[in-house]
Structure 1
Amino acid sequence: MSRAFPVGLTPPDWLVRNLQPQQAPPVNRPAVARAAIAMSLPLAVGLAVGQPAYGALASMGALSGVIGDTADAYRMRILNIAVPQLFGAAGVTVGALVFGHGWVAVAAVTGIALISGMISSIGAVASVSGLLLLLNAVIGAGLPLPGPWWLTPLLMTGGGLLVLTLALLAWPLRSGVPERSAVADTYRTVADLLTACGADAYDKARHAVTQSLNQSYDLVLARRARHHGRSPELVRLLAQLNAITPVVEAAPAAHQHGRPLPDEVPAAVRRLADAIEIGHRGLLALDFPAPVGETGRAVDQALRHAAEVVTAQNVDPRAIVDRLGRPASLHVRAYRAARNVALSGASWRYGLRLALCIGIAQALVSLVPVPRSYWVALTITFVLKPDFGSVFSRALLRALGTVAGLVVAAVVLAAVPAGWWDVAAMLLLAPLIPALTPRGYGYQTAAITPVILLLSDILNHLGTALLVPRLVDSLMGCAIALVVGYLLWPESWHARVGDKLADAVADTAAYVEAGFGDTTDHAAHARMRRRLYRDLSAIRTEFQRALTEPPPTGRRAAAWLPLVVAVERIVDATTAARVRVRQGAPAPSSAETAQVALQLRELSEGLRETEVLFAVRTDLTGPADSVLEPLRQEVAAARAITSPYSDDDD
């Protein structure tokens, strides 16, 4: 029989959320195999030629490649692994050149920290590139490296490129497979959404569809950004993603109807998903039930359109690529990214925040003798990476993960003889990194720590003497990040959900206004809906991050969830009303639409002025039989929400 915690010993919710492992997909076995080979092979080669230190440096480079080996599409793997390796090589080169130069090294690493923090806002690849730029600069400035100055960056880059080479081995046989699988998975999530119509599971299924659509469009459009021509395969994938949009739009109307759809409807979508995954074209036997009512006709028309696109022999590229616009050239996109970073106040704040912490750490270890002092700055780099989530949460998990990793490292360093046994140990330890990383940052830290210590021992031959300095330096880095990078910044104590939600509510008002009228652009309206749901998905992510913060930030963030759900329902209700109008229901008057939009804009302005939700007037009126009546009810519910949080709770 389980027993509850005594009242005084019950852990707070924010601590429980930090310590809970994340729901992770099945272990990526190819990534596990690549990690084992890429990190142990350089050690074996180094031992074979009598240069184990060189092998350890190449394995360090492979470690950064393993951390960046997260993309499914092969073209994305090139960017995710190769580009950061170039920045890492530049970082270790600069660090090695200023090694032992006192305050010059402090200034150089601090400047690199500023650049690293600023470029993190460009995108995922730039973020990892900035991370490796700073990490390797810290290593080069704090650790005496063997050989001439050019050898270390060459070895570390070679280790990272080994991971890339292993990741691309199957490309000739599986080109396009990850993209097709992503689109097929999106169709399957839509099938689950149709199954959930009229049931309590609808909201959860809708969130899954939003995330899947985001991932699929990001994957396909990222590939498109490198194709200036009209790739037939790419055109087909985009057409298939666009074709499922009317089905997604019809789902809110079906859910609003309150009755489950016939089983044949989601079954047909799953058949289409299977056809997409195997690349089937041509006739496909599908069982479409006879539609009943406005909702049934909307679902039937959308489903038949999707089936036509999926089974079509050819897709007109002019209707797909041209409508999306020709991607800008690489140098134009690079110029735009650099301009945005230079002019962004947020990127400057993040960069200065990271640079300040790194500068203090480097100055501290220059004044106070600290063994292996570069670990302090390494810890800050991982904890304070501004786009990686809650600083407080990462500092906590970093400390706990380091302790767990040190336990494993103590066993390895004490029991494993130096030499070829190190290769065997690496074969066992390296696969834990891709296996545990999806579980959360603490698990990743626990997996990386023994690997780093094993490589450090090969370079320094200190054995278990590395353990205590590693723990002390990690705790020092966490403390600096928490105090200088978290507590001293006012923005750390404010949940950023409110401002983002206010923007989403204002966009929802524009979505409502654009949804009805004789000149409605259906394609533009579909893009608005996708953008709205993408923004709301990002808000949910920010909401989950804020819940891991200690009071009062976490408590304030929790108050926003009901309104996030309410805004999602408003978007759904608007979409359902549009579907009904397109199926023959009377369109609402412009006055009705303007009234709803006005109420939403008033709510948006109210959200910008306070972090504490409060109820506002809900005097929405209109014909009871109007298609906008469900929408008015959802807007009234959103405006009537009162937060359980108040300043007295601090």
Structure 2
Amino acid sequence: MSREFPIGLTPPDWLVRNLRPQQAAPLNWAALARAALGMALPLAVGLAVGQPAYGALASMGALSGVIGDTADAYRMRILNIAVPQLFGAVGVTAGSLVYGQGWLTVAVITGIALLSGMISTIGAVSSVSGLLLLLNSVIGAGLPLPGAWWLTPVLMTGGGLLVLLLALVAWPLRSGVPERSAVAAAYRTVADLLSVSDSDDDETYDRARRTVTESLNQSYDLVLARRARYHGRSRELTRMIAQLNAITPVVEAAPAVRLARLAGKPLPPEVPAAVLRIADAVESGRTGPTGLDLPAPVNETGRAVDHALRHLAEVATSPDVDPRGIDDRLGRPAALGIRTARAARNVVLSANSWRYGIRLALCIGIAQALVSLVPVPRSYWVALTITFVLKPDFGSVFSRALLRAVGTVAGLVVAATVLTVVPRGWWDVPVMMVLAPLVPALTPRGYGFQTAAITPVILLLSDVLNHQGTALLLPRLLDSLMGCAIALIAGYLLWPESWRTRVGDRLADAVADTAAYVELAFREGADVAARARMRRRLYRDLSVIRTEFQRALTEPPPTGRRAAAWWPLVVAVERIVDATTAARVRVRHGAAPPARSEVGQVALQLRELAEGVRRSETLIAVRTDLTGPPDSVLEPLRQEVAAARAIASPH
């Protein structure tokens, strides 16, 4: 007989969501090996030459490289690891130059925090760069570093570049392999989507569709990031873009397959099997016929799938692709110089970047001022905690503060064991080889798990530098709690936008964009590539919105409660996009096109819904009447729109 918690002891949903580990991909054993070797080798070299402190500094730099070692493509690894290391070198230099300078130190670190917060809004690489800029400046300003002023940045940068070197060892032998593997992985997610189209479980189908979106986003990002660094055409990259574009008609046919299955017309199993064979050919680089053995189509959906698969097989396995006919589904990337200029202009002119920068600077300034007025041993840890918790692009401040506290406690337990049992000296090297791989292994599980993995590593390196042993543990816990408290009060509660969520605005924008997509999908003479780009952008935006909502669900009331109220509408909008795509596929392959008035009525209803969502922070009353010919190709779409409007109406 199962026992239930008393109502008063049942943990709230937002707390359960925060503490639940995230689903993660299988372990990246190569990354684990790089972490172990990259962080243990500098320690060993430092011990061998009689300078363990120098080895600890290099290992700290290697830790930064391990945190940034997240890209699959080799060129992206250079950006993700090398660029942040340069910012980190500038940060530790600036911090060390103002070490022990009182209020000058407070002013300089606060200014660096403002800059760090602002540049973090540019993108993923700039986010890590801003993090290391602030992180290392706090370390430089809070620790008496050994050697000349230039030695610490050299050692820390060298440790990070060692991790980069290990990450690039196989580049000559595996150039282009990560990109091809990503494209093939996208193909396999599409095959899974087609397979689950025969399932009666809507949740399974929705999960598979989201996986396709995420995989296509990742594949396009990898290929386009590499292509943007070529001044001319690359035959290999052109072919990979063509392969990604060729899977789009199959993805578009999936919603039609789902509707056909619900109408009693299942998909032949040969179809997903054919996509898997093509994926194997893409990953291996094979060209030539793939031997498609498909049954004859019997309706519009069957013809759409047959046509899409044959086109996919032809393009994906063709040895030559005409570069003049290639255009990616997200638009052509601008030149690197143009994108850099745009990013710099956006940072200077964006109200969001200033707001984030000021929030971070305020909290860091309070922390630096506090530890200047109150004697706190090794006070730099307070600002370090704020740096990690309050990074504005890293998600919910409240959740990160909570998880930081929990993760620190768990990490301190491990650190206490290590510092108590393991003798100082050469034993630190094998211990580091065990602890370092935990960072890339646990990071995908969530921020609390990452904190638990990083804390004993940093404390072990700190012990090498200052030889305080277990005396470090209690001060580190108190410093972390102080940092979390400052971040929660000055960086969360004092900013109403933090706890008065605006997820409704983002959702309203998505609904309005969906109305525009409905009109474009059935507009006569509309550009096929433009329609595909809009659909891809819309799915990408919905993926971002879903992530924002999931973050909001981890907030305490009222933010989490509001996000939970809007959550079903997020799913409904995704299904409206699916239904629109399915109707378009049927029209393209023989179904009667809808009248312009039908399309206009659906778009009008969606715009009314968007406006209603935008004007309200809670569920709103909207009309749910939406009529039309029952045999129209838009009938499933009208049903989805009516369901969405019913969700938005209070019950």
**TM-score (normalizing by structure 2):** 0.97
Given that residues 330 and 537 in structure 2 are in contact (C-alpha distance below 8 angstroms), is that contact kept between their aligned partners in structure 1? no
Bigger mean CA deviation after superposition, 85-94 or 614-623: 614-623
Which of 233, 237, 241 is 2:236 aligned to? 233
Provide the residue aligned with 1:53 in structure 2: 53
Q: CA deviation at 1:591?
A: 1.6
Provide the residue aligned with 2:367 in structure 1: 361
In 2: Cα distance, 1:341 partner to 1:263 partner: 51
Instruction: Tell me if 1:244 matches 2:247.
Output: yes
Residues 551/186 of structure 1: CA separation in 2 closer, same or farther (3 Å cut):
same
List aligned pairs for 1:248-259, cutoff 5 A. 248-257=251-260, 258=262, 259=265
In 1: Cα distance, 2:237 partner to 2:164 partner: 24
Q: What are the superposed Cα offsets for residues 310-331 of structure 1, whole Å, 9 maximum, x if unpaired?
A: 1212011111159976643322
Instruction: Tell me if 1:392 matches 2:395.
Output: no
In 1: Cα distance, 2:376 partner to 2:316 partner: 63
Secondary structure at 2:590's aligned position in 1? coil
Given that residues 504 and 532 in structure 1 are in contact (C-alpha distance below 8 angstroms), is that contact kept between their aligned partners in structure 2? yes
In 1: Cα distance, 2:566 partner to 2:48 partner: 60
List aligned pairs for 1:45-84, cutoff 5 A. 45-84=45-84
Provide the residue aligned with 1:455 in structure 2: 461
Which of 297, 304, 308 is 1:298 aligned to? 304
List aligned pairs for 1:28-107, cutoff 5 A. 28-107=28-107
In 1: Cα distance, 2:136 partner to 2:322 partner: 48
Q: Which amino acid aligns with 1:361?
A: A
Provide the residue aligned with 1:269 in structure 2: 275
Which of 223, 227, 232 is 1:224 aligned to? 227
Q: What are the superposed Cα offsets for residues 399-458 of structure 1, whole Å, 9 maximum, x if unpaired?
A: 011111111111111111111111121111111111111111111111111110111111
Provide the residue aligned with 2:545 in structure 1: 539
In 2: Cα distance, 1:344 partner to 1:114 partner: 14
Q: CA deviation at 1:2?
A: 4.3
In 2: Cα distance, 1:642 partner to 1:627 partner: 25
In 2: Cα distance, 1:357 partner to 1:440 partner: 24
List aligned pairs for 1:75-224, cutoff 5 A. 75-199=75-199, 200=201, 201-224=204-227
Secondary structure at 2:647's aligned position in 1? coil
List aligned pairs for 1:515-554, cutoff 5 A. 515-554=521-560
Bigger mean CA deviation after superposition, 618-627 or 9-18: 618-627
Q: CA deviation at 1:517?
A: 2.8
Provide the residue aligned with 1:11 in structure 2: 11
- Could you list the runs of 5+ residues in structure 1 that have no partner in the other structure? 646-650
Residues 377/301 of structure 1: CA separation in 2 closer, same or farther (3 Å cut):
same
List aligned pairs for 1:429-468, cutoff 5 A. 429-468=435-474
Given that residues 65 and 161 in structure 2 are in contact (C-alpha distance below 8 angstroms), is that contact kept between their aligned partners in structure 1? yes
List aligned pairs for 1:365-444, cutoff 5 A. 365-444=371-450
Q: Which amino acid aligns with 2:229?
A: R
Provide the residue aligned with 2:515 in structure 1: 509
Q: CA deviation at 1:172?
A: 0.8
Residues 637/323 of structure 1: CA separation in 2 closer, same or farther (3 Å cut):
closer
In 2: Cα distance, 1:239 partner to 1:521 partner: 18
List aligned pairs for 1:277-356, cutoff 5 A. 277-320=283-326, 327-356=333-362
In 1: Cα distance, 2:103 partner to 2:566 partner: 47
Q: CA deviation at 1:198?
A: 4.0
In 1: Cα distance, 2:649 partner to 2:590 partner: 40
Q: Which amino acid aligns with 1:206?
A: R
Instruction: Tell me if 1:563 matches 2:566.
Output: no
In 2: Cα distance, 1:242 partner to 1:524 partner: 12
Q: CA deviation at 1:644?
A: 7.0
Q: What are the superposed Cα offsets for residues 154-186 of structure 1, whole Å, 9 maximum, x if unpaired?
A: 000000000000000011111111111111111
Provide the residue aligned with 1:648 in structure 2: none
Aligned pair count reads: 645
**TM-score (normalizing by structure 1):** 0.97
Q: CA deviation at 1:500?
A: 0.8
Q: What are the superposed Cα offsets for residues 522-558 of structure 1, whole Å, 9 maximum, x if unpaired?
A: 1110111111111111111111111111111111101
Residues 48/471 of structure 1: CA separation in 2 closer, same or farther (3 Å cut):
same
Instruction: Tell me if 1:580 matches 2:573.
Output: no
In 2: Cα distance, 1:83 partner to 1:472 partner: 33
Bigger mean CA deviation after superposition, 272-281 or 490-499: 490-499
Secondary structure at 2:62's aligned position in 1? helix
Residues 644/403 of structure 1: CA separation in 2 closer, same or farther (3 Å cut):
farther
Given that residues 192 and 266 in structure 1 are in contact (C-alpha distance below 8 angstroms), is that contact kept between their aligned partners in structure 2? yes
Given that residues 569 and 648 in structure 2 are in contact (C-alpha distance below 8 angstroms), is that contact kept between their aligned partners in structure 1? no
In 2: Cα distance, 1:549 partner to 1:433 partner: 26
Q: Which amino acid aligns with 1:376?
A: V
- Could you list the runs of 5+ residues in structure 2 that have no partner in the other structure? none
Residues 9/536 of structure 1: CA separation in 2 closer, same or farther (3 Å cut):
same
Secondary structure at 1:270's aligned position in 2? helix
In 2: Cα distance, 1:346 partner to 1:322 partner: 30
Secondary structure at 2:616's aligned position in 1? coil
In 1: Cα distance, 2:382 partner to 2:423 partner: 28
Q: CA deviation at 1:615?
A: 3.2
Provide the residue aligned with 2:506 in structure 1: 500
Secondary structure at 1:560's aligned position in 2? helix
In 1: Cα distance, 2:497 partner to 2:459 partner: 35
Q: What are the superposed Cα offsets for residues 577-620 of structure 1, whole Å, 9 maximum, x if unpaired?
A: 11111112221222221111111111111111111012311232
Q: CA deviation at 1:246?
A: 0.3
Q: What are the superposed Cα offsets for residues 286-319 of structure 1, whole Å, 9 maximum, x if unpaired?
A: 2111111111001100111001001212011111
Given that residues 86 and 157 in structure 2 are in contact (C-alpha distance below 8 angstroms), is that contact kept between their aligned partners in structure 1? yes
Provide the residue aligned with 1:589 in structure 2: 595
Secondary structure at 1:420's aligned position in 2? coil
* Aligned residues: CA RMSD: 1.4
In 2: Cα distance, 1:610 partner to 1:287 partner: 53
Given that residues 613 and 620 in structure 2 are in contact (C-alpha distance below 8 angstroms), is that contact kept between their aligned partners in structure 1? no
Q: Which amino acid aligns with 1:558?
A: A
Residues 630/447 of structure 1: CA separation in 2 closer, same or farther (3 Å cut):
same
Residues 516/643 of structure 1: CA separation in 2 closer, same or farther (3 Å cut):
closer
Q: Which amino acid aligns with 1:575?
A: T
In 1: Cα distance, 2:406 partner to 2:375 partner: 25
Given that residues 230 and 321 in structure 1 are in contact (C-alpha distance below 8 angstroms), is that contact kept between their aligned partners in structure 2? no
Given that residues 73 and 179 in structure 1 are in contact (C-alpha distance below 8 angstroms), is that contact kept between their aligned partners in structure 2? yes
In 2: Cα distance, 1:626 partner to 1:409 partner: 66
Secondary structure at 1:623's aligned position in 2? coil
Bigger mean CA deviation after superposition, 282-291 or 166-175: 282-291
